[in-house]
Amino acid sequence: MADSWETLKLLADSTRVRILSLLTREELSVAELQEILDMGQSRISSHLGLLRQGELVHDRREGKKTFYAINRNFDAQGVALMQAACNSVEGTEAIAADVANLNRILEKRKQQSEQYFNSVAGRLGKNYCPGRSWEAIGHFLLHLTPKIRIADLGAGEGLISQLLARRAEQVICVDNSPRMVEFGSDLAAKNGFSNLRYELGDIEAVPLKAKSVDLALLSQALHHAQHPQAAVAEAYRILKPGGQVIIIDLLEHQFEKARELYADVWLGFSENALYQFLKSAGFRKIEVNLVARESEAPNFQTVLASGVK
């Protein structure tokens, strides 16, 4: 159990309470905290170091970036103290300004990803995309069951859905890029697919009813999600009992340029992380397997994960 006196000392500083208030809302990098709080890197890092030492926050490395989040496993007494401190300043001008800056940062994250996909709409399949290989897609299609309702989450132009629609009862593609949805809809009409439709929406808040599909696909989409666990939980929500989720994504890597080149939010995932996403969402019969490795540098590897509701 943490020392409550030490926790109170940490909470006696206004900057640390502002940081904790922000981290209760969103996991943030040091650079993002600098921008939100308009403070220097050394000052922010010093406070974060103390909070981490006091076990109020924890960090994770993602390439060259370090992200910080509230330690949800902190003891109940310490969590209560921290929550009381944050609640006591919730109505202040400083917190209101911090939250406004936080929302701006989160919107910037979203726009960066959207701008990239809008810019490559119509030619995504012609350009190089990490992990998108026919070998991986072949493994993906082995799990296809005909005459079912399918949701392709983060579909992009819907390359896979264009193939699945030839046999499925219905395929719904969900993507947050208006240009991707427009291009995919036109392509579906051109190919005469009356059972294929596109919906503008976020994979973390899927615009489909609960228990409405038999199969949910996340093909190279999860590493673009701000909160991948939320996206997997949404897949669980829209699936009928007995329905299946299939995820194809990149194995965890260190190719930092993927953020700039492909608007990647996450540098892939470990097999264990994908397993935990599925388990936490409620899936059973979970399988996670490495299915492909690219021969050219940086040698991206592709993981296939599946689970049953």
pLDDT in tens, 41-80: 999 999 999 999 999 999 998 888 899 999 988 888 888 8
For 242, other C-beta atoms within 10 Å of its C-beta total 8
- Position 101 scores a pLDDT of 93
Beta pairing partners, 175: 200
Fold of 134-308: Rossmann fold (3.40.50)
Domains in the chain: boundaries: 4-111, 134-308
Q: What strand order describes the sheet that includes 57-62?
A: 28-29, 65-70, 57-62
- Position 287 scores a pLDDT of 96
pLDDT in tens, 143-197: 665 789 999 999 988 888 888 888 889 999 999 999 999 999 999 999 899 999 9
% helix, strand, coil for the chain, step of 5: 45, 25, 35
Q: What pTM did the predictor assign?
A: 0.69
| Strand 301-308 relative to strand 65-70, pairing | unpaired
The Cα-based distances of 289 to 59, 134, 136, 144, 226 in angstroms read 27, 17, 11, 17, 23
For 307, other C-beta atoms within 10 Å of its C-beta total 27
**Residue reference for tokens 């599946």:** 306
* CA–CA distance, 242 with 287 (Å, rounded to integer): 15
Lowest mean pLDDT of 31-35, 127-131, 217-221, 246-250, name the range. Answer: 127-131
* CA–CA distance, 291 with 138 (Å, rounded to integer): 10
Correct CATH for 4-111 of 3.50.50.60, 1.10.10.10, 3.40.1410.10, 1.20.140.10: 1.10.10.10
The Cα-based distances of 279 to 194, 231, 254 in angstroms read 35, 13, 25
